[in-house]
């Protein structure tokens, strides 16, 4: 692997975790970091998220072999333009965004002469900010790399090796296909969570606090998802609009069919659906992407 110096732009959950993971699992890599918020930079320095906190984005990327943009997807083009004049020749520029086709277009526009290889580590928590990062975030999780057709194979291999050094498993995928897959596995579930928690909030006055007081496990899981960074998720839905609307249309049709089964007392349809979805849950556990323990194996980082 030829990546020896990494610059991280954005020092929240993902950026901070990349820095901590590199420090723990790839200590030969020198890391620099920058965040637009001076308070975040100060806290990142206190926590030692990266080796060197820089005062400007240009300083952070000046000598980097690899630059990773850990900013909301809506801010990706602006962040790329801010560093464009400071990149060293041959440096790889990537990101961690949850939508890829729009990010690839934005980065290609801002950095026409750079080696741009978008990526998405499929890992995270509902927490955000420099306090949220931890070194094990990417361990046994997938990082999906979506290189453009003209990306140098050596650079793609270097990027994949970097993520593998942090404990991730790497998958190469077309950007448009990534966006459709993530609409199903991440974006629509978040949209549902935000919606049901919002509905419960509207009912709160009617139930006089009972929604919160008597929250069962299902609702608590929805609130955990709905506590995710609102700026990040606003940008995700706007940037992956086409895939989200396509999957949302299919979900709406399935929900209407389920509503009809309940109205008609069609227990067989309900049972078949619930049995099929339970199999999916078992498959996720077998794949090692979650834990069967009551708390889903999640610890409070």
CATH code of the domain covering residue 63: 3.40.50.720
- pLDDT (0 to 100) of residue 208: 64
At residue 8's C-alpha, the angle toward residues 5 and 13, to 5°, is 135
Pair (219, 116) in one structural domain = no
Pair (162, 270) in one structural domain = no
- pLDDT (0 to 100) of residue 248: 94
Determine the structural domain holding residue 255 and report its residue range.
177-286
- pLDDT (0 to 100) of residue 297: 43
Residue matched to tokens 């839905």: 237
- pLDDT (0 to 100) of residue 286: 73
- pLDDT (0 to 100) of residue 2: 83
* Contact by Cβ (8 Å): 142, 122: yes
pTM of the model as a whole: 0.83
**Mean pLDDT for back-to-back runs of 10 residues, the chain (301 residues):** 91 97 96 97 97 96 97 94 95 96 95 96 88 95 95 96 97 95 91 88 73 75 85 90 93 94 94 87 72 52 41
What number of other Cβ atoms are within 10 A of residue 64's Cβ? 25
CATH number at residue 216: 1.10.3660.10
- pLDDT (0 to 100) of residue 174: 95
Pair (220, 280) in one structural domain = yes
- pLDDT (0 to 100) of residue 141: 93
- pLDDT (0 to 100) of residue 301: 41
- pLDDT (0 to 100) of residue 180: 94
Residue 12 vs residues 18, 37, 79, 118, 249: alpha-carbon distances, Å: 10, 10, 15, 19, 33
Rg of the chain over all Cα atoms, to the nearest angstrom: 21
Pair (120, 224) in one structural domain = no
């Amino acid at each position: 692997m030829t990546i020896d110096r990494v610059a991280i732009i954005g020092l929240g959950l993902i950026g901070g975790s990349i820095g901590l993971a590199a420090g723990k699992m790839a200590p030969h890599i020198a890391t620099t970091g920058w965040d637009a918020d001076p308070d975040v930079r100060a806290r990142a320095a206190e926590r030692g998220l990266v080796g060197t906190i820089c005062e400007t984005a240009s300083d952070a990327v000046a000598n980097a072999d690899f630059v990773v943009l850990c900013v909301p997807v809506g801010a990706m083009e602006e962040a790329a333009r801010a560093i464009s004049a400071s990149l060293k020749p041959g440096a790889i520029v990537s990101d961690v965004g949850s939508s890829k086709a729009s990010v690839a277009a934005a980065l290609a526009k801002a950095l026409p002469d750079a080696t741009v290889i978008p990526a998405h580590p499929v890992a995270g928590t509902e927490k955000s900010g420099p306090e949220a990062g931890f070194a094990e975030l990417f361990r046994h999780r997938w990082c999906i790399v979506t290189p453009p057709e003209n990306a140098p194979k050596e650079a793609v291999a270097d990027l994949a090796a970097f993520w593998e050094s942090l404990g991730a498993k790497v998958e190469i995928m077309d950007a448009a296909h990534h966006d459709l897959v993530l609409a199903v596995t991440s974006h629509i579930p978040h949209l549902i969570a935000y919606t049901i928690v919002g509905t419960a909030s509207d009912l709160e006055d009617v139930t006089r606090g009972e929604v919160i007081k008597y929250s069962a496990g299902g609702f608590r899981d929805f609130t955990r998802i709905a506590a995710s960074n609102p700026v990040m998720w606003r940008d995700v839905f706007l940037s992956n609009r086409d895939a989200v609307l396509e999957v949302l249309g299919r979900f709406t049709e399935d929900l209407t069919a389920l509503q009809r089964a309940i109205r008609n007392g069609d227990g067989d349809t309900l049972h078949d659906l619930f049995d099929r979805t339970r199999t999916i849950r078992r498959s996720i556990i077998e794949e090692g992407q979650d834990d069967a323990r009551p708390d889903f194996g999640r610890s409070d980082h």
